[in-house]
Chain A
Amino acid sequence: MKAVKEKICLISRKFNNIFLVGGLIFLFLLFSVTSGEQFLSVFNLSNIVNQACIILVTGIGVSFIMSHNNLDLSCGGAMALNGVIVFLLCERLSFAFLVPGCIIIGMLIGAITGGIHVYGRIPAFMAGFAMMSLGKGISTISVEHKMRTPDLYKGLNNVYFYLIVIVVVSVIALFLMQYTKIGKYNKLIGANPITAKMSGIPVNKYKMMAFTINGIMIGIATFLTMVRSGAITNTTGNGVETNTLIAVVIGGMPLAGGSKSSIRAAIIGAFIFTILNNGLIIWGIDANFVNVIKGIVFLLIVVLTVDRKHKYLAV
């Protein structure tokens, strides 16, 4: 029994490095071989990119929060709320402000969620949960049937635009996470918040920065949703928070944060998640059953990657 446990630990240590990229390639090959023509068609591949894009962006935002050992459950509701507010503002002013509006209001929403956690001393997942519920509620009440994205932005709904967004956002996020104080400090806060404080890291300030970055990502994701679905409806943002968390964890993000947190997890996770979804549907598997499979994959990855030596699990 102990030997099995040690083996699992050993596998999980190597898992992050090899298996996740390997898993992504495996899934890709699996679906290419089994349903090649349909899966590999230009239409489907660009569809995968389009779908992965939003989850990748929200996943990157959540990564910053998870790196300091918190969870964000707000993104779906925050996106809906953000969309409604920005749309109503732009309607009165000008739709030229759509992009900066999304980012600024998103940032504010992120900062408010963070502020509730940091200064109100409430667990972050509760603050996020409240924000999600609140956002969903407010947006559903105020969504009017005419909230359609202006034609001006419809032209962006193509794979090249999404690819550019993916590359630009990923590169900036990788830089922030690996080579700046924001990423380093957040990862260290995740590793040990007391030592972080005693080493002169302004813990609250950097946690707030993580939440603000998450807000910016929520803003970008809101804009992408508007471009992609052409309107804000009362289902905007539904399920985004759970899908994002699943994707990030599938990508190998440690649940307890710390120095092993990486943006790579969000990128790989978004693609594994989307390809899995897409391929299973092409196989003709019932949508509800797809959820069952996703659940099993999720559990499997968590079993293989979770840090069993972490103080909460090491009893």
Chain B
Amino acid sequence: MSKKMITLKNMCKSFGNVKAVSDVSLDIECSEIRALIGENGSGKSTLTSLITGAQHAESGTIEYRGVTFSSKGILDAKRNGIAVLLQEKGTVNGLTVAENILLGVENRCKGKLGISKNKMNAEALKVLSRIGAESIRPQTVVDRLSFEDRKLVEVARVMLDEPDILIVDETTTALSLSGRETIYKIIRDMKAVGKTIIFISHDLDEVINLCDSASVLRDGRFVKTVDKEEMNHDYLRSLMIGRELGEHYYHENLENHYAGEIVLRVEDISLSNKLKDINFELYKGEILGLGGLTDCGMHELCKVIFGATIPEKGKVVAITDGIEIEISDCVSAIRNKIAYLPKDRDAESLFGSASIRDNITVTSIDQLKKGIYISLRKEKELAQKQLDNLFIKCSGSEQYVNELSGGNKQKVVVGKWLANDSEILIMDCPTRGIDIGVKSTIYSLMKQLTASGKSIIMVSEEMPELLGMSDRIIVLKDGAIANMFMRNQNLKEEDLVRYII
């Protein structure tokens, strides 16, 4: 019964000085759903990219269906029955659903005159109904689909050739409940016919419910494979970070501890059909949570407060020592010590191909310069200070940011704003795609910041995070404030959800 599907032996891969994967061996059987868990930077994604051939191992062998296998790249892996579903968007805009699903294999649908659209649509519909997404029409242009449906189109593309191994790399984090269910169903169906699934996720609930076993990685090394019976939150968590972790890494204090001083006022903000008459105040030393559905307008609101988007109506006023200043653009926001940590770190708040030093000092060059001269030594000192402060894992301040893991990248972003002594931090999904270990350091960092008198606006899509961290919670629905909650012990997820949906 237990036939081996794929065996990894002593896989190694390093990037520069960092050993991303070191001496990892794994056995995965047919009909098995194997979770791959670990903190950010523990080597999960690298390991899967070694399997698909997107990266090449320095040493080690892969045995696939009993023979040695070495893939030349993702396409080669796909031809051999190993398919990957990724976290980020992978559909091509401007093409129809059918064209996206059959991307690269259009030749299968040859008609009398070149490629037949009808055949393509029929083929696409077949796959879509197989995965339970009949509601998506193959003729639709993907741009017009929601994020979820686009993800399902990607799933359909992957399932077109019924792979033997399906690697799901944090795909589900981006999806809502119903989208997740669709993917779970596909995974269970595949298992039933003897296929193998490698499932990467930060969501331990998901892992425990879905997977037969879980392999834990830490710092590029293999820690342990845990069977279904043994799986529970605390045990997995302690394996992942290598030490026991208290249940309460959120805010412990249930008192509202902020002072009465107002530092920021949002007045009557309206933005086309995204925001309607938003009014609120931010107090010194508090964490103000903003919650709601992804498209409720909370992300746009962050951009408006930071001055990156100009609202049609209303204004944002920063108040320092009783002096009121209206925020007109990013430059004036930064000058008034407002910081913005966007949801999409790589695209909006990091210079990937520049050094950590460049990334951290960009907001505080004015403090470093003498006349027009900027001393490299002072820059390095400032960067080093933040590196030490935040325990950023790197080879030094000259390392390029795109070589860092997600959690460390987020710390660089935090460092960049602490370097210029920001007083108000707008954090849009501060722990998105970050695992528990780094998550808890981000949380304790937020606590430290507020304790030292800084104020935080935190947008979050995760209910426990909102409830656990915020002093006050504002729930947005369809661009308007639905309700506001004060921190209190009896506040439950259900109370929020009632106003969110």
Contact = CB atoms under 8 A, between A and B. Distances in A.
A46 B315 CA distance: 64
Contacts of A145: none
Interface of A: 1-2, 6, 175, 178-181, 184, 187-188, 191-192, 194-202, 258-260, 307, 310
Given A188-B358, A200-B331, A179 B348 contact: no
29 contacts: A2-B72, A178-B376, A179-B373, A179-B375, A180-B369, A181-B365, A181-B374, A184-B358, A187-B358, A191-B358, A192-B351, A192-B352, A192-B353, A196-B362, A197-B330, A198-B308, A198-B340, A198-B342, A199-B334, A200-B331, A200-B333, A200-B334, A200-B362, A202-B331, A258-B351, A258-B353, A259-B354, A259-B355, A307-B353
B349 interface: yes
B100 to A, nearest CB: 16
Interface in B336-375: 340, 342, 347-355, 358, 362-363, 365, 369, 372-375
Contacts of A2: 56, 72-73
Contacts of B373: 175, 179-180
Nearest to A176: B372
B221 interface: no
Interface of B: 56, 72-73, 306, 308, 330-331, 333-335, 340, 342, 347-355, 358, 362-363, 365, 369, 372-376, 416
Contact of B374 (A184, A191, A201): A184
A199 B347 CA distance: 12
Given A195-B350, A258-B351, 6 more contacts: A2-B72, A196-B362, A198-B348, A199-B334, A200-B330, A200-B335
B398 to A, nearest CB: 10
A180 B351 contact: no
Nearest to B56: A2
Nearest to A256: B353
Contacts of A196: 351, 362
Contacts of B352: 191-192
Nearest to A258: B353
Give the most central of A175, A196, A200, A260: most B CB within 10 Å.
A200
A156 B124 CA distance: 75
Contacts of A180: 369, 372-374
Nearest to A254: B353
Give the most central of A178, A192, A201: most B CB within 10 Å.
A192
Contacts of A192: 347, 350-353
A6 B375 CA distance: 36
Contacts of B72: 1-2
Contacts of B363: 199-200
A218 B250 CA distance: 60
A52 B260 CA distance: 67
A259 B353 contact: yes
Given A2-B56, A195-B350, A201 B376 contact: no
A201 B334 CA distance: 10
A179 B370 CA distance: 10
A187 B362 CA distance: 11
Nearest to B340: A198
Contacts of B306: 198
A6 B330 CA distance: 40
Contacts of A194: 347-348
A192 B373 CA distance: 23
Give the most central of B306, B334, B351, B365: most A CB within 10 Å.
B351
